[in-house]
Amino acid sequence: MNKEKKKEMYCKGCRNNYYNQEGNSLDGECWSLETAEVVKRKKVHINKKPPWDDCPVFKTLDCYHEQDYVFIGPDRNC
């Protein structure tokens, strides 16, 4: 998958997507984008107590970060 496709599909909502906008970085893209891989993760709010088995699993980049959430492997329930 090329960098433009990754940006279009997976970077929206990431706190580092700011760097993908023109004029916000020297080369116009997030520094993690080139090596980022698509993975499955659970999105867990930082205040949610285990078990996390009801948290949604979705595809995202392994570098994706969103304020107030952590992203864990899809099989983790604790």
Beta bridge partners of 42: 57, 72
d(C-alpha 60, C-alpha 15), whole Å: 13
Write the DSSP symbol of residue 76: -
Query: Of 77, 35, 42, whose CA–CA distance to 59 is shortest?
Result: 42
Domain layout of the chain by residue ranges: 3-72
- What's the pLDDT at 71? 94
- What's the pLDDT at 78? 61
Tell me if 11 sits within 8 A of 20, measured CB to CB. yes
Other C-beta atoms lying within 10 Å of the C-beta of residue 62: 13
Q: How does pLDDT run across 3-47, given as a tens digit for each residue?
A: 888 888 999 999 998 888 888 877 778 889 889 999 999 999 999
